[in-house]
Structure 1
Amino acid sequence: MSGMDESLRPEKSRITIFNEPINCQFCSNDVFTPYEVIVNVEQPGIGVRHVRYVAICQYCGKAKHFGDPSYYDVEKDNYIWALNQSLLSIKKYKIKIIFFVGKRKQEKVTIFLNSLIQNFKAEVENIKDYKGEVLLQIKFSNSNDKQAVRSMIMGCARRLKINVKEITIK
């Protein structure tokens, strides 16, 4: 969507203002779900309202507030559209992770698996243990690209002190 006289859709998307991307101040992610917010800009009871937006980061949940700075350029006799929304398609991923765990092996595997299920709403296809090396196969849908998915999985593994040998994303 670009240069259109309509509200931002409340769907996962990337948003730009004057072609500058909106990034989360907390996690630097750029995937948001925007919502319209009606604000009373005058004294209560007068009834003057103004439309603003709040966009929720799809990675960390932090809210970003912004307005629509679009304006009419008198000199060029043209309306300058500021907001642009690129809707994201949901991709389906199949992931194979081979990793090593040290002490408390079963507990770490369970915590790691539960973390992946919670963060990605993943479905487990297969899990096998080969003498300290664990093979985990999961599938899920997500709007992030492969590199972002890989980073999120590696961050989860790092927090649990799990050594990942290989990640295959298809």
Structure 2
Amino acid sequence: MSGMDESLSPQKSRITIYDEPVVCSFCLHDVYIPYEVFVNVEEPGVNVRHVRYIAICQHCGQAKYFGDPSHFDANKGVFIWALNQYLISIRSYKIKILFYVSKKNNDKITGFTNKLIQDFGVEKENINISNLKGVAELQIKISSLNEIQEVRSHIMHSAKKLYITIKDLTIN
């Protein structure tokens, strides 16, 4: 959405002000649900109200207050739209992970699986362990707001932290 002449929709979205993303100061994520708030900014009883926004971070729940700085530029004779909203859809991914494990190290498989469940809220589909080759296979489904590259990077980072070597990672 670009150059909005309507209020922000209360849906999961990314919001920009003058093309700069609104980022949560607490967790540094940028996915919000914005809501309109009407504020009486004049003396009490005058009933002059202005629209402000409150946006709730979808990662940590932190509230962010902001106004709409859109304005008319008299020098150029045009209206400058400041707020933009980009609606986000939740994506579903099927992931297949092949990783090396020693014959004695089933704790790594459990730890890695638990880490992915904690981070993504995954549904385990299938776990196959091939003891002869020292390779484990994990098939999972996740729903995420993130793009494939971010999901891949997060899985690789989690594996690295647990000292797991990934042989193959397929995301569909």
**What is the TM-score when the length of structure 2 is the normalising length?**
0.75
Q: Which deviates further from its counterpart, 125-134 or 109-118?
A: 109-118
Q: Which residue number in structure 2 is paired with residue 140 of structure 1?
A: 142
Question: Quick one: which amino acid aligns to residue 111 of structure 2?
Answer: I
Q: Which residue number in structure 1 is paired with residue 3 of structure 2?
A: 3
List gaps (5 residues or longer) in structure 1. none
Q: For 1:146 and 1:58, locate their aligned partners in 2 and report how far apart those are by CA, in whole Å.
A: 19
TM-superposed CA distance for 1:17, in Å, is 1.2
1:67 partnered with 2:67: yes
TM-superposed CA distance for 1:33, in Å, is 3.2
Paired residue secondary structure (2:118) = helix
Aligned residues: 170
Q: For 1:118 and 1:104, locate their aligned partners in 2 and report how far apart those are by CA, in whole Å.
A: 24
TM-superposed CA distance for 1:59, in Å, is 5.0
Q: For 2:145 and 2:71, locate their aligned partners in 1 and report how far apart those are by CA, in whole Å.
A: 32
1:155 is matched with which residue: 150, 157, 160? 157
Q: Which deviates further from its counterpart, 154-163 or 36-45?
A: 36-45
Q: Which residue number in structure 2 is paired with residue 13 of structure 1?
A: 13
Q: How does 1:1-170 map to 2 (within 5 A)?
A: 1-25=1-25, 29-37=29-37, 41=41, 50-59=50-59, 63-101=63-101, 105-131=105-131, 132-170=134-172
Question: Quick one: which amino acid aligns to residue 11 of structure 1?
Answer: Q
Paired residue secondary structure (1:165) = strand
Q: Which deviates further from its counterpart, 127-136 or 50-59?
A: 50-59
TM-superposed CA distance for 1:157, in Å, is 2.0
TM-superposed CA distance for 1:18, in Å, is 1.4
Q: Deviations over 1:99-148 (max 9, x none)?
A: 23459733332232223223222222211111232100111222211101
Question: Quick one: which amino acid aligns to residue 147 of structure 1?
Answer: Q
Identity, in percent, stands at 59
Question: Quick one: which amino acid aligns to residue 136 of structure 2?
Answer: V
List gaps (5 residues or longer) in structure 2. none
**What is the TM-score when the length of structure 1 is the normalising length?**
0.76
Residues 53 and 161 of structure 1, relative CA distance in 2, 3 Å threshold: farther
TM-superposed CA distance for 1:66, in Å, is 3.1
Residues 145 and 43 of structure 1, relative CA distance in 2, 3 Å threshold: same
Residues 124 and 68 of structure 1, relative CA distance in 2, 3 Å threshold: same
Q: For 2:39 and 2:105, locate their aligned partners in 1 and report how far apart those are by CA, in whole Å.
A: 53
Residues 45 and 157 of structure 1, relative CA distance in 2, 3 Å threshold: farther
RMSD (Å) for aligned C-alpha atoms: 3.1
Question: Quick one: which amino acid aligns to residue 166 of structure 2?
Answer: V
Q: For 1:97 and 1:161, locate their aligned partners in 2 and report how far apart those are by CA, in whole Å.
A: 15
TM-superposed CA distance for 1:4, in Å, is 2.6
Question: Quick one: which amino acid aligns to residue 162 of structure 2?
Answer: L
